[in-house]
Each structure stands twice: as structure tokens, then as C-alpha cells.
């Protein structure tokens, strides 16, 4: 992957840290770009949720399309050439999709493989040049409540995180483990 001249737009502090460790120029844009978008050519970089059972936690995607829930193309391009990554279509969403049946419905209606909340915002700028995402959760993952663990600016909401762990202990620990697996895969693929 040639990262020269590209800015890797990350929603969260953890994603930004991974990108920087891989030697990439990274900016934290927050959830849905709430912290603002930088100038220049952008790559959507971070975690994503699988919309079908054909993807596994830790699998890295190098997207060729970003679509809306009806399958309309918001962005289309060539993959960035991330070693070991799978070409995919990303679904742009304004919300975290928790429900397995809703994930499968979105896959059927859009043709997308995975969902994230920043690629659509970046596509709307006309400066999106690629999407590199790692699967952090699959349709059967219990991730309800994880959206309360991050502030809009992408920083960790410590109280929300503690509340999530206290109320959903097993699911929260499994989700955090899966997110770490995905982040390691993302860093390895970008290095």
C-alpha cells in the first residue's frame, strides 16, 4: 500500500494510535466526523462490523465501494493494495447496528459486506481515496452498549466503558477482546 500523501481518518483514539504505530499520517475525526475533517486525500481507517457470516473478527477489508442502505454508490475506487486484505463493499451508517437480523437485512438490501459510521461522511467530501477496515464484530456479536463507551470526538468515555462492563460483563469483555484482535490485524496490515 502506498500511503504517500494520504491522511488516514480514524474515528477513535485507539484507531488513530494503531495508524500512527504503522507509520501512517493519522487524524482522529471522531464518530461520524464530529471532530472535523482534515484537508487532502482521505482514507477511512478503523474498525467495522460484519453484515454477514462470511467475515471473521480480525479480517481486514480494502474497500472498493461505499454504499447507502439501499445499495446506492456513495464512492467507488480501486483498492489501496493492502497485503492480505479482502476487497469489500462498505455500508455507510449513521448508527451502530446491534441487531443480527438488521445486519443481515442491510447486507441483503445494500450488498455491503461490513458497516462503519465514517466512510459515508468521508465519501461526501469527494476526497475519499480508500477504505481500510478490520472486522471487530460479526452478526452474532453482542455489542449493544458499546456506543456509550466513546465520546463524539472519538475519545474514550471512561464512565460509559465502566458502566458497560458492569452491566454487560461477559459481552463487554468479549467485545473488547475482539476489538483488540481487529486493531492488531489492522496495524499488521498497514505496516
Looking at residues 76-87, what average pLDDT do you find? Answer: 94
What's the pLDDT score for residue 2? 63
Residues 109, 67: contact at Cβ < 8 Å?
Answer: no
Provide the residue ranges of all domains of the chain, joining segments of one domain with +: 6-190
CATH code of 6-190, in short, is 3.40.50.1580
What tens digit of pLDDT does each residue of 103-137 get?
999 999 999 999 999 999 999 999 999 999 999 99
Each residue's pLDDT tens digit, 168-181: 888 888 988 999 99
Q: How confident is the model at residue 1 (pLDDT cuts 50, 70, 90)?
A: low
Contact 164, 146 (CB under 8 A): yes
Count of beta carbons in the 10 Å neighbourhood of residue 49: 25
Cell representation of residue 119: 466512510
For the whole model, what pTM was predicted? 0.92
Amino acid at each position: 500500500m502506498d500511503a504517500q500523501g494520504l491522511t488516514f481518518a480514524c474515528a477513535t483514539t485507539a484507531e488513530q494510535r494503531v495508524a500512527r504505530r504503522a507509520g501512517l499520517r493519522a487524524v482522529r475525526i471522531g464518530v461520524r466526523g464530529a471532530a472535523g475533517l482534515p484537508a487532502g486525500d482521505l482514507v477511512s481507517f478503523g474498525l467495522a462490523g460484519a453484515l454477514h457470516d462470511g467475515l471473521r473478527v480480525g479480517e481486514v477489508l480494502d474497500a472498493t465501494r461505499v454504499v447507502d442502505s439501499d445499495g446506492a454508490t456513495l464512492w467507488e475506487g480501486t483498492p489501496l493494495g493492502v497485503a492480505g486484505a479482502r476487497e469489500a463493499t462498505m455500508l455507510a451508517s449513521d448508527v451502530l447496528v446491534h441487531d443480527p437480523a438488521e445486519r443481515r437485512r442491510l447486507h441483503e438490501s445494500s450488498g455491503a459486506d461490513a458497516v462503519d459510521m465514517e466512510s459515508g461522511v468521508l465519501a461526501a467530501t469527494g476526497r475519499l481515496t480508500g477504505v481500510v477496515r478490520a472486522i471487530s464484530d460479526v452478526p452474532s456479536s453482542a455489542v449493544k452498549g458499546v456506543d456509550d463507551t466513546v465520546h463524539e470526538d472519538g475519545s474514550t468515555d471512561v464512565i460509559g466503558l465502566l458502566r458497560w462492563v458492569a452491566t454487560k460483563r461477559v459481552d463487554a469483555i468479549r467485545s473488547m477482546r475482539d476489538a483488540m484482535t481487529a486493531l492488531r490485524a489492522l496495524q499488521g496490515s498497514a505496516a
